[in-house]
Amino acid sequence: MSTVPGDLDTDRQPPLSVPLWHFVVALVFLLTGAVLGVTDALGVAPGLARLAHLHLLLVGFVCLTIAGAMTQFVPVWSGTTLHSRRLAQAQLWLVVGGLLGLVAAFLSGRVAMLPPFGALLLVGFWTFAYNVGRTLARTRPLDVTERHFAAALGFFLTLTPLGLTLATDFVTPVFVGTGVSRGGVVAAHATLAVFGAVLTTVFGALYQLVPMFGQTGLRGVDHALQRFETVVYPAGVVVLAVGRLVASAPLARLGAVLLLAGFLAFVVVLGRLLLDARTDRSPMLVRYALLAPAALAWALLAAPAWLRDPLAATGRFGAPGTAHLLALLLLFVLLGTLYHVVPFLVWIHRYSDRLGFEDVPLIDDLYDGRLATTDLVLVAGGGALLVAGDAFAHPLLTLGGGLALFGGLSVFAANLLLVLWRHAPDSLRRDARDPARD
């Protein structure tokens, strides 16, 4: 983790400001969503606070982080150039504008604002999908990471019109006489978002990141499991989403079986890769190591619930009461990844040209290790309290977990922002010597 992989063509990446703006804005949404979650737990949040909280975290933090990471690393990993830097900048502000309007509408109860801001959000994500899709189209044949990213882009293109339809339905009835209900569309939208766009991206990224920075590789049955997951998991997401959309329990149950089978195959491959890792402990690999048992626990709990009733609203994200467990899983992935990606990008732009001519810090020296340990304890502990609060329906556990989690996320954000402030204070300004180009 302290070295730079030698096979990455970092000359193909966009200007440093492009991904960093995505990550910084995503951190702001993360903290805002966490605050809103705590106020909602206290019962003092206004309007449709749950929807605002969910969209701030899922769209604002998770999806913006994914958009920034894909925009940065698809050209690097695929050995090609980004289709358009201007579109990469535009996608961020389109999504930000749409999300801010959506959240304001949820909290104020002014539902007439939802359709126009939902449309803006759709345009932002379609801009992102088009830009990265055109970049991937230059790569043949697609490797396992690129195939996952291509599938995730397809999920982004599908879930956003459903979201816009739901936003419109707040103002004008949309589903009368269509054969589908609002609940079915909500379930399909959520399935495509969390299990489609987000987790498919996560799987693809980890297939690249864990071998790269753990200095390990697939062996034996791992290859077969990876091929199985690559086909079965996305198919399961589609079938589950369609089954929920049309309220067909048998179809949704088949989708759930396929999704969980692919999910478990990935967990086995990930666990074996982590056990074989030959590098020192780092915030990235430690969080990935916590991800594996959390993912296994979620899947084992989800299986009986989904087999029994895959259409239940309480089981939309797995077994009833496990939504926070799934959220913790995503946090481990994203926080661990950002702990390497942000210092890595800063190191490449600030120190790589000096290597061999003067003493330069290692990548892992750019962040504060004590703060990283502190946020790990608070995030893991707070997440565990939230999971326990769900399991025992105990509001004090939920509140305490939310407060601890917010503290951990604040420390995490401060640690990464300190990296920028100390080592690349001008990193958020586009370098005039490297203008955006198409």
DSSP state of 176: T
312 and 273 co-located in one domain: no
pLDDT tens digit sequence for 12-62: 567 788 899 999 999 999 999 999 999 998 889 999 999 999 999 999 999
261 and 373 co-located in one domain: no
CA atoms of 213 and 288, how far apart (whole Å): 11
Task: Decide: 265 and 228 in contact? Cβ < 8 Å.
Answer: yes
CB-CB neighbours of 425 under 10 Å: 9
98 and 208 co-located in one domain: no
Q: Which of 248, 279, 310 is the last residue in one of the domains?
A: 279
50 and 85 co-located in one domain: yes
164 and 243 co-located in one domain: yes
DSSP state of 112: G
300 and 426 co-located in one domain: yes
Mean pLDDT of 314-321: 94
Q: Which of 76, 93, 124 is the last residue in one of the domains?
A: 124
Q: Which of 95, 87, 33, 86 is nearest to 66 (CA)?
A: 95
Count of domains for the chain: 3
Q: What is the mean pLDDT of the chain?
A: 91
Q: Which of 247, 279, 311 is the last residue in one of the domains?
A: 279
In this prediction, residue 226 has a pLDDT band, given cuts at 50, 70 and 90, of: very high
Residue 136 in domain = no
208 and 219 co-located in one domain: yes
147 and 93 co-located in one domain: no
Residue 437 in domain = no
Residue 130 in domain = no
Residue 294 in domain = yes
67 and 35 co-located in one domain: yes
pLDDT at 247 over 50: yes
CA atoms of 39 and 91, how far apart (whole Å): 30
Report DSSP letters for 44-60, one per residue: ---SSHHHHHHHIIIII
Owning domain of residue 264: 141-279
Report DSSP letters for 57-96, one per residue: IIIIIIIHHHHHHHHHHHHHHHTS--S-HHHHHHHHHHHH
169 and 293 co-located in one domain: no
pLDDT tens digit sequence for 362-415: 888 899 999 999 999 999 999 999 999 998 888 899 999 999 999 999 999 999
Residue 272 in domain = yes
Residue 129 in domain = no
196 and 228 co-located in one domain: yes
User: In Å, how far are 282, 332, 377 from 287, measured between CA atoms?
Assistant: 8, 5, 11
Residue 131 in domain = no
Task: Decide: 194 and 58 in contact? Cβ < 8 Å.
Answer: yes
